[in-house]
Amino acid sequence: MTIHRQTLEVATEGGIARKIAYIATNAHKAGFPGLFWLSGFKSDMASTKASIIADWARDWETAYTRFDYSGHGVSDGDIEDFTIGDWLLEAETVFLEKTGGPQIVIGSSMGGWLALLLARSLVLSGAGDRLKALILIAPAWDMTEELMWKKFTPEAHAALERDGVYYQPSEYGEPYALTRALIEEGRNHLLAGRRLDPGCPVRILQGLRDPDVPWQHAVALMELLEAEDVHMTLIKDAEHRLSRDSDLEVLKGMVEKFVVQR
């Protein structure tokens, strides 16, 4: 098993490439799909869940690819300068250039939204057979509209219009800098009101006490998905991070079933 930690250049419409950091673990266990991790907003590829999956992939000799979006982790840039479209382009680039064969795409929070957008892109391009499954952890689909803009106070709306940025208090540390560009560009990627067939099974892991992505939001996603094999696991006392030992055991169980499935 070989682990590569390096950077990848992502071309932009303006012709100026940006560099993002990624880690790819190449394994050669016959018949096993790879794992592809998509982090949440302001999270990174060294997070608890991403690292636990790395340990699991090592033990099972399974290929595993993860990266930091621009403005996140050890990748270049300031988070305020990027939007959903930028991070989706990075996800597509890493997936197509640094993975091979069928992949289980695991998306956490915002990464769940990006996983769905990536799946749609692959299906439309005729590469849907690259998807073994989607595993979505508290998926914050359409978050810029449904979980941000529509829930902002009048004061937050005013700050976005006046300053182009709103600093939202966070339980996880420093306030989140949410830009008007993030909200407005996010509208190009909304899933609400459209049917989506990702072309593969979907598993959703959701906490009932999640204050950031309410469980009702995850249930609404199930109604959008046209795939027949869609299941949700609700954990009664779990919050948004789903990083307790018991939560992680459930997540690993989901991954394992698809990896060893023939």
pLDDT of residue 198: 95
Give the lowest-confidence range in 14-23, 97-106, 127-136, 158-167: 14-23
Q: How far apart are alpha carbons 229 and 133 in whole angstroms?
A: 10
**Is the pLDDT confidence value at 3 over 70?**
no
Residue 254 CA, distance from chain mean position: 16
- The total of other beta-carbon atoms located within 10 Å of residue 125's CB is 11
Nearest to 127 by CA among 98, 103, 94: 103
Q: Which residue has the tokens 């990006």?
A: 114
Specify the DSSP class assigned to residue 214.
-
pLDDT of residue 179: 97
Q: How far apart are alpha carbons 238 and 255 in whole angstroms?
A: 19
Token pair, residue 172, equals 């996880």
Q: Burial of 206 by CB count in 10 Å (0-12 exposed, 13-18 middle, 19+ buried)? A: buried
Kindly report, residue by residue over 162-208, the tens digit of the pLDDT: 999 999 988 777 888 999 999 999 999 999 998 899 999 999 999 99
pLDDT of residue 191: 97
Q: How far apart are alpha carbons 125 and 256 in whole angstroms?
A: 28
Name the pTM for this structure: 0.95
What b/e string do you get for 15-36 counting C-beta neighbours within 10 Å, with b at 16 or more? eeebebbbbbbebeeeebbbbb
pLDDT of residue 221: 97
pLDDT-based confidence at residue 72 (cuts at 50, 70, 90): very high
CB 61 within 8 A of CB 257: no
Tell me the pLDDT of the chain averaged across its residues.
93
pLDDT of residue 12: 80
Structural domains of the chain, with CATH: 2-143+200-260 (3.40.50.1820)
Kindly report, residue by residue over 209-240, the tens digit of the pLDDT: 999 999 999 999 999 999 889 999 999 999 99
Report helix angle 245-260 to 48-59, nearest 10: 40
**Is the pLDDT confidence value at 87 over 60?**
yes
